[in-house]
Amino acid sequence: MIRDVTDRDFPREVEQASMPVLVEFWQPGCGHCLALLTQLEQLQEEVAPVLKIVKMNVQENFQIPAELEIRSLPALALFERGEFVRFIGGIGRKDEIRKQLNLT
């Protein structure tokens, strides 16, 4: 199961993580968000030793999504060494996400 992260614990869970972190920004009722979450759960099982995956509900958390200027959902953001690196495109299938992350 993918862990929830909040504005409050974002620094500890993402910015201070010892490995790269992929954050899904989502909201309840978003069908594409839930479909992506299913793919991320499968991916997490495969990449857990080298990549941390978390999710942030944008209806409950406003600060981080605003700082990253999240405008559409779902959105995937990659962080390395505590810094935002880029958004991940090709959202949909875990294999495409792996390719975008160079984890193939």
pLDDT attached to residue 90:
60
Q: For domain 3-100, say whether CATH 3.40.30.10 is its number.
A: yes
75-104 pLDDT, tens digit each? 999 999 999 999 997 667 898 999 888 875
41: left (phi over 0), alpha (psi -120 to 50) or beta: alpha
Catalytic residues: 30, 33
Of the pLDDT bands very low, low, confident and very high (cuts 50, 70, 90), residue 20 is very high
Q: Where are the domains of the chain?
A: 3-100
**Rounded alpha-carbon distances, angstroms, from residue 61 to 36, 49, 73, 99:** 19, 27, 14, 29
Long-range Cβ pairs for the range 57-65 (8 Å, 24+): 57/4, 57/26, 57/27, 57/28, 58/25, 58/26, 58/27, 59/27, 59/28, 60/6, 61/6, 61/7, 62/7, 63/7, 63/10, 64/7, 64/10, 65/25
The residue-averaged pLDDT of 53-63 equals: 97
- Strands 3-4 and 52-57, how do they pair? parallel
